[in-house]
Structure 1
Amino acid sequence: MSMFCGRSKDLQKIEAKLCCDEEHRHDSSRKLLFVSGPGGVGKTRLTAKFAEEKKSFYQGGVYLFNAQSTSAFRQSLETNIVESEVCGTSLKSDLSSQYNFFVHQLQKQKENVLFLYDSCDKLEIIEKLLPREDEQIHVIVTTRQRDGHYFLDHSPHKVLHLDVLETDDAVQTLLSWKGYGQNNGGLDDECKEKSSAKVLVEQRRRSVVRNTVTCLLNEKRNCKQ
């Protein structure tokens, strides 16, 4: 995986919400997590990094599903079935049957499993494909939805909202893109770059805030008209 930086606190939040340790491995209340945020904020990259770091916990495997549509999910499921060498079901079966068979076969290993449902903006695509209490499966769903109704009866501790990076994290990311912190630049140069990056981040942050406020004011005026 390419270099990752700027979301260390969010990685810790995911681990805390899912409780990835042996003590809580059978805790049914900690099996599902929604990671929401605008497009391009880093949801997929964050969850992939989490899966990479916790692969020793998920001995049963990590499986990625494209949840943009039912057809995309089915294709991902069929790919995962083939690549995991699970046999015994027809790929012509309906989606629920395929899913239940796949889960049943994985549970025979008696190991923890992680499913990543990526880009799911319509809950109906996956609402019948979520872990049951007796299954050792964690599911992380990435979505652009922020509406509380989208998450139905899923309590707040199962939702992680991603926003723009904090200033220090954003500066770290910019410096990493420039190659600093990899022992290929002098300390003075890095300090100068850090100062410049911080100014750039703050300018960009103020610009985003101004644009957001302007949009909200325009919407309010339009509603009054």
Structure 2
Amino acid sequence: MSQFTWFSARGPALREAQLDRRARLPAPAALDRRPLGEQRLVVLDLETSGLDTKRDQVLSIGAVVIEHGAIDLGQQFECTLQRADHRLNASVLIHGLAPSAIAAGSEPAEALLAFMEFVGDSPLLAFHAAFDQRMLARALKQSLGQRLRHPFFDVAELAPLLCPQAKIPRGGLDDWTRHFGLQVHQRHHASADALVTAELALILFSQARRQQLDSLLVLQERLSGWRRRQRAHQLA
């Protein structure tokens, strides 16, 4: 049997072992009313070559797991993706990834397969999640021919929803970490940002439980209403 198998005439070329791994990736679990403390969640942060979700590329992935109501430091993911066509630009001043580090990274298909195996069927959390969701979805499509179907929760939305008294309606990660007195060891580093986002998420989940919002399904429902009110306020 050939070592290489073409996914399609227009899709990525994947080795047979990669196709097998892709086929075994679990479908995302449906959101339900299990208490937050019983959920496994993957907190994600991406470093990218820029902010254009149609042109820029994922350069590194950092993730940590929240399980049994705590951050499980035994379940962490960190990977730099090899990008042969990556050129030095202003973004290196933010993420600090030199072209040599990117050239020495993992093959994108291997990195993304490993990450999705790490994720399993768990929901994903990120700060300003829409950007990470679009970038990850595009990377999966380009490198694996895989559609991203996992639900994402945006910690940047959960924070003002659950803590309106903070009066930080459109705050960034730095604003919320300062508000709660969290220590950030290294900003714009995927793993470090994922960890501090997870710490912030645990604080917010504690607030959610106090407000009888103790499941992802209930949080999703409350977020939908909050978004509608935000849009109506902006149009008023």
TM-score, scaled to structure 2: 0.24
Q: Is the radius of gyration larger for structure 1 or structure 2?
A: 1
Bigger fraction of residues in strand:
2
Bigger fraction of residues in helix:
1
Greater RCO (Cα-Cα under 8 Å, separation 6 or more):
1
TM-score, scaled to structure 1: 0.25
